[in-house]
Amino acid sequence: MQASSWIADDGWLVRGHEAVRIEASSHFDLRPQEASIDLLVVHGISLPEGSYGGTAVTDLFMGRLDCAAHPSLHGLRGLRVSAHFFIERDGALTQYVSCLNRAWHAGLSSFCGRQHCNDFSIGVEIEGCDQDEYEPAQLEQLASLCEAVSRAYPSCRNLAAHSDIAPGRKTDPGPFFDWGLLHRLLEGRGVPMRRQPQ
């Protein structure tokens, strides 16, 4: 399937692609009417931190995380968060919120002087942490997703790390995320998205 055909008019990934799973979260609301999707925010996540695989990330975004399962999860009790997409270590891709709606991923944030990045961004969580390198399959999948997003929403040309839009509060996706490789993959696909300095 070509990346250009991944995203339907309703903002959901086309079902049936072998690497795509849909889990519709209730953790979203409407974007402001005047909002234009022009930013893709890259996050890093693992629950518990440094633990990969399992269902904890999806459970968090779906509001069913067992916060008693590990001491580090206790602080997440009652938290209502989501992202549009999640890319696992093997490159598997899950969507939780339509691109047309506002996922709750950025929190208190600012991009190039504009506040409330959730209003105009797409949030992509990559399974990882600040201490580990990300897998090549994840960067490949992210590049494919960026291509699909940029074709579905031509105004979306900006990339940012969560740490870029929430400096001092967030550090993800961390020092081992290979922005150079991502940019080379995007250039090879002719995708005009680039990380923007703040």
Q: Among 165, 153, 164, which residue's Cα sits nearest to residue 193?
A: 153
Among left, alpha and beta (phi > 0; psi -120 to 50; other), residue 47 is beta
- How far apart CA 144 and CA 26 sit, in angstroms, is 26
How far, in whole angstroms, is CA 12 from its chain's centroid?
14
Q: What angle do CA 27, 170, 26 make, to 5 degrees?
A: 5
Tell me which of 125, 127, 135, 147 is the catalytic residue.
Answer: 125
Is 34 catalytic? The answer is no
Residues with catalytic function = 125
